[in-house]
């Protein structure tokens, strides 16, 4: 399963996927390219240092979203990518891109969806006052963090948490959960019936 990883920033989830692959914990999934939509995405350099081809498809250089998505698709297809993992990718993807990889685009979000979609999920969770937070891996549809949920992991919210402390605790859970889900996908253990997704144990 040739995997493309899309990032916009630090890329710690992307690095967790690369590390899991090196450790033989990604099943038959192989991250073959890392693509960022911003030239200053720190993860680009980190991916290159890890020996994975990394490229920038700068969204500001395209006239509209369709042109950007076509370029992104061409880059991924040119490398034989079959599945796409969004890892802190901060652009909404439309039908043009999603139709190119039907049912094969997944995302990780730092909240227990459907609570707190969109940006600043950890801040939203703290402001709401929840006692349990976490992360979600889901299929990507046209909405903002609305696609069918594949897996979730909970973490506690502590009384003295600020946004950074909670984000760090959630991120540690993300780094475990995302490789587990990619492995399950690669091993054919994920089945989908409408919004209901089942992951068979490995």
How far apart CA 43 and CA 56 sit, in angstroms, is 11
How far apart CA 136 and CA 112 sit, in angstroms, is 6
Q: Could you say which of 21, 59, 109, 138 is catalytic?
A: 109
We find the least distance from the C-beta atom of residue 107 to ligand GRF, in angstroms, to be 7
Nearer to ligand GRF, 70 or 146 (CB): 146
How far apart CA 160 and CA 116 sit, in angstroms, is 20
We find the least distance from the C-beta atom of residue 14 to ligand GRF, in angstroms, to be 6
Q: Tell me the residue number closest to ligand GRF, measured at CB.
A: 88
Q: Give catalytic status of residue 109 as yes or no.
A: yes
Residues 6+ apart with CB under 8 A from 33: 4, 5, 52, 53, 54, 55, 75, 76, 79, 81
Residue with tokens 């919210």: 157
Which of 200, 173, 174, 201 lies closest to 85 in space, CA to CA?
174
Contact footprint for ligand GRF (CB under 6 A): 7, 9-13, 87-88, 108-110, 171, 174
We find the least distance from the C-beta atom of residue 111 to ligand GRF, in angstroms, to be 8
Nearer to ligand GRF, 73 or 122 (CB): 122
Nearer to ligand GRF, 100 or 140 (CB): 140
Active-site positions read 109
């Amino acid at each position: 399963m040739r995997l493309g990883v899309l990032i916009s920033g630090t890329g710690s989830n992307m690095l967790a996927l690369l590390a899991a692959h090196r450790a033989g914990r990604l099943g038959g999934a192989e991250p073959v390219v890392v693509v960022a939509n911003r030239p200053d995405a720190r993860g680009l350099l980190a991916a290159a240092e890890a020996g994975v081809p990394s490229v920038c498809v700068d969204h500001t250089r395209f006239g509209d979203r369709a042109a950007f998505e076509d370029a992104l698709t061409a880059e991924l297809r040119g490398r034989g990518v079959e599945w796409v993992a969004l890892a802190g990718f901060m652009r909404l993807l439309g039908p043009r891109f999603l139709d190119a990889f039907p049912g094969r685009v997944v995302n990780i979000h730092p909240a227990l969806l459907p609570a707190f979609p969109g940006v600043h999920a950890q801040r939203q969770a703290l402001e709401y006052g929840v006692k349990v937070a976490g992360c979600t891996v889901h299929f990507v549809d046209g909405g903002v963090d609305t696609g069918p949920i594949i897996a979730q992991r909970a973490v506690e919210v502590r009384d003295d948490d600020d946004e950074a402390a909670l984000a760090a605790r959630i991120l540690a859970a993300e780094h475990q959960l995302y490789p587990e889900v990619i492995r399950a996908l690669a091993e054919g253990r994920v089945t989908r019936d409408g919004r209901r997704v089942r992951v068979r144990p490995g």
